[in-house]
Chain A
Amino acid sequence: MKHRIVLSMIWIALLTFASCGGGDKVANAETPEAAEAGTTDLGQAGVQDDESQKDIVKVAVGSADHSTLVKALQQAEYVHALANAGPFTVFAPTNAAFDKLPAGTVDNLMKADQKDALRNILEYHVALAVYKENMIRDGQSLGMANGDNITLQVKDGKMMVNNSANVLAAVPASNGLIYVIDAVLLPPAK
């Protein structure tokens, strides 16, 4: 055991010296060596943390049913915001929900020139504050991140959104609550 500790310490020492590099490289942002050593440039969603409860982004990334949503969040550059402290309530359409949209809709939204439209749709799925199931009343309106409102229906203990999407499950995350829904919510036409 002792030897192992010493060996690992030697490794650490070697690593330290390796990562320190020559004096002229220290903390020089221009050099690729410095850029890879101990960088924190990835942003909130890139924080290395296997101990904390997963945030909304990590939960979504870990769900096979939400790969389309994750791709859309990436395309709309909406990932870091949802890794923020929040707190959020996020309505997360499944892959099947996206598949229910008219053919070609998703492909079209994923085009570079549709980024703002995509972001608007995704923001329509996000509310600030944690709305737990027991706080929600039938007919309640929630203001969403894009500025529009959704309406919630509660019948026989089941929740729906805008009379169109069924809530399939509630998944807690470190920075809020995810409601898995079976249809994509479309903002009201203006």
Chain B
Amino acid sequence: MPWGMVGGAMLVSLLFSIQACKPKGVQSAVSGDSAVKAYVAPGKYDEFYNFVSGGFSGQMSVYGLPSGRLFRVIPVFSVDPEKGWGYSEETKPMLNTSHGFVPWDDLHHPALSTTEGIHDGRWAFGNANNTPRIARIDLKTFRTAEIIEIPNSGGNHSSPFITENTEYVVAGTRFSVPMGDKVDVPIKSYKENFRGTVSFISVDPAEGEMKIAFQILLPGVNFDLARAGKGKSHGWFFFSCYNSERANTLLEVNASQKDKDFIMAVNWKKAEEYVKAGKGMKKNVKYAHNVYDEVTHMATSKIETEVLVLDPKDCPDMVYFMPCPKSPHGCDTDPSGEYIVGSGKLAALIPVFSFTKIQEAIAAKNFEGDYEGIPVLNYDAVLHGEVKKPGLGPLHTEFDDKGFAYTSFFVSSEIVKWRVSDLQVVDRVPTYYSIGHLCVPGGPTKKPWGKYVIAYNKITKDRYLPTGPELSQSAQLYSIEGEKMQLLLDFPTIGEPHYAEAIPAEMIMKNSTKIFKLEENKNPYAALGEKEAKVERKGNEVHVYMTSIRSHIVPDNIEGIKVGDQVYFHVTNLEQDWDVPHGFAVKGANNAELLIMPGETQTLLWKPDRVGVFPMYCTDFCSALHQEMQGYVRVSPSGSNVPLIFSTGDQQ
């Protein structure tokens, strides 16, 4: 065959394959000005913070948009040796649960606090999916301030979505489980013994402290995702649920039998009334409530033993089901609060429900029947309409500031833009590949900031340099300023990104904490000046009250430690200067190192296991003389009479 023909055939097939991959009508993947739109020049700030869940890493990461630059990984539900999280004595209690210390969990969804439905930049919440918990992250310090465990739950997936004024953050069970006194039951008795719950956790409006206000006991379905009503629907909460078949095995097949599952509508204002009227039942449970105190720089963990449960049987007009096609996953309310979008994982259309029609149907008792005693509203009566043939496998929907919705499609790997008012598809772009969640800045709020949509993809295949069997997960930034979505940038993410939120930088950066004030440090082991540095022995416990400042530690020579001692290094960073942490490490430490912020005290437990002299040093490059910031600890045999002495700088 002549070369020309081979080349021509290859060219034709190449062109054909490119065209075949591309949905009709989309522009070329990357256009000329993409680089300019995503480029943030050195010395310039990004416009948005992007808080991205770390999925199976258990953490939350913070990126800048549009640059995609990673600024910080906030340790939440997993230990983080880099920051001493879960290793320092002060932070260990944060990972305590009713099951004891849990070092690694799975964080799927961030939720940024809102006031009157608009971002207020105070807190980010995150869910622990495996051992059910909710964390509150303080956006002044970018640190996890509080973690509360959720009892009567298995798989806290439908969480931590929030109400308009952050009155409540919710936690819905993915796994229904047996609960109460009868928990040792055959798995096959699922239909009889397994129940689901959704929990409403109140958030103190000033300090943010969380408390489980009430749980609602529900049929044994799988709760998946949720969104609060807003504006006219404020006071309601919507939860998607699947497995209305109530299968306990091979859900891949057995939970996909019915044409429709449900979106559950909860009137939480009504639930509050029932709580006030004493309709709740107090149930004995066990769950941990952990709080990090910024003044003592220590966490405490308390085990709580009671929760208030509302049963819809005793509380009419509180819970309704709406039929929703094919195992709904996403359940998203538009900025007006009028429309609730259900996304059936296996559906080829997107139903959009109308809050006004829901209220009318409830008033008219327009029910198709009931499910386990809970009224099921008539599908056609509550439907605003369906987005027809949008793609295959709709998952999640976010909204912009111009009346458009953006829905992710896992199977067809694309974002589809449609108009909320008339449900017409107006644009679609391919993603690379298999998009899960997506994010428009302010997308779940009453006031979307618009400008971008970011796709968080599950599979990247050929997008990045290969790194063995697992590749970096991927986010993709698209401009939504024009009529057509425009791909600007790919950027890799930590762990696996599930949901993410983005917020204008100005709302956060101005409040960012720079230092912890030494005069406010109430850690009982703080040494607030070098004169307070000391070493004390209490039996086989030795407490070293140590200070760090550029560029020395006090004391830096310690003798009189014995094998078998438990040595607590309580290190206070005396710096009062932004971005000057000190680190601390001692040879042979079996857990990790410390990283101590300016003005803070952190404690490392060291159990010397042999005789010798052991180096210790600052691990965070702090100054030109960082490499001089070091010392020695002498460890003698357990019966030794070497006196306990300590010093710094006494040699001449």
Contacts and interface: CB of A to CB of B under 8 A. Distances in A.
A175 B580 CA distance: 10
A41 B120 contact: no
Interface string A29-62: 1000010011111000001010111010000000
B623 A86 contact: yes
Contacts of A105: none
A13 B505 CA distance: 11
B578 A49 contact: yes
A188 interface: no
A2 B205 CA distance: 12
B647 interface: no
Nearest to B441: A16
Contacts of B449: 13, 16
A84 B579 CA distance: 12
A87 B115 contact: no
B451 A20 contact: yes
A106 interface: no
A52 B625 contact: no
21 contacts: A2-B115, A9-B115, A9-B118, A12-B504, A13-B118, A13-B449, A23-B482, A27-B37, A27-B41, A28-B36, A34-B41, A38-B505, A39-B45, A40-B43, A41-B43, A52-B576, A52-B598, A85-B550, A86-B624, A130-B551, A174-B575
A80 B625 CA distance: 18
Contacts of A38: 44-45, 505
B463 to A, nearest CB: 23
Nearest to B518: A53
A26 interface: yes
Given A26-B36, A26-B66, A16 B504 contact: yes
A55 B579 CA distance: 13
A128 B625 CA distance: 8
A18 to B, nearest CB: 10
B447 interface: yes
Contacts of B598: 52
Contacts of A37: 44-45
A130 B66 CA distance: 42
Interface string B28-69: 000001001111110111010000000000000000001100
Interface string B361-391: 0000000000000000000000000000000
Interface string B391-408: 000000000000000000
A51 B515 contact: yes
Top 6 A-B pairs, shortest CB-CB distance: A38-B45, A174-B577, A29-B41, A53-B576, A87-B550, A16-B504
B514 interface: yes
Nearest to B115: A5
A51 B578 contact: yes
A40 B47 CA distance: 14
Contacts of A175: 550, 577, 623
Nearest to A174: B577
Interface string B422-439: 000000000000000000
B481 interface: yes
B515 A52 contact: yes
Contacts of B507: 9, 12, 16
B37 A85 contact: no
B398 to A, nearest CB: 18
A15 interface: yes
B116 interface: yes
A112 interface: no
B506 interface: yes
A103 interface: no
A129 interface: yes
A86 B37 contact: no
Nearest to B486: A23
Contact of B576 (A29, A47, A174): A174
B36 A27 contact: yes
B45 A52 contact: no
Contacts of A49: 514, 578
Nearest to B628: A129
Contacts of B575: 53, 174
A13 B118 CA distance: 10
B515 to A, nearest CB: 6
A64 interface: no
Interface of B: 33, 36-41, 43-45, 47, 66-67, 115-116, 118-120, 447, 449, 451, 479, 481-482, 504-507, 514-515, 550-551, 575-578, 580, 598, 622-625, 628, 649, 652
- Which label, helix, strand, loop or mixed, suits the secondary structure of the B interface? loop
Given A16-B449, A53-B577, A86 B44 contact: no
Contacts of B33: 24
A95 interface: no
A19 interface: yes
Contact of A40 (B37, B44, B514): B44
A27 B550 contact: no
A12 B262 CA distance: 39
Contacts of A9: 115, 118-120, 507
B412 to A, nearest CB: 28
A27 B578 contact: no
Contacts of B120: 5, 9
Contacts of B652: 137
A134 to B, nearest CB: 9
Contacts of A40: 43-45
Contacts of B622: 85
Given A9-B119, A26-B47, A85-B580, 14 more contacts: A12-B506, A13-B504, A16-B449, A16-B506, A16-B507, A27-B66, A34-B41, A34-B44, A37-B45, A39-B43, A47-B578, A84-B624, A87-B624, A128-B624
A189 interface: no
B649 A135 contact: yes
Contacts of B36: 24, 26-28
A129 B578 CA distance: 19
Nearest to B580: A85
Nearest to A41: B43
Contacts of B40: 27
Contacts of A85: 550, 580, 622-624
A93 B575 CA distance: 26
Interface string A86-100: 110000000000000
Nearest to B504: A16
Contacts of A27: 36-41, 44, 66-67
By CB atoms of chain B within 10 A, which of A40, A52, A137 has the most?
A52
A130 to B, nearest CB: 7
Nearest to A16: B504
Contacts of B515: 51-52
A16 B450 CA distance: 11
Contacts of B481: 23
Contacts of A135: 649
Nearest to A17: B449
A153 B624 CA distance: 26
By CB atoms of chain A within 10 A, which of B451, B598, B624 has the most?
B624
A185 B115 CA distance: 60
B652 to A, nearest CB: 8
Contacts of A13: 118, 447, 449, 504
Given A27-B39, A34-B44, A51 B514 contact: yes
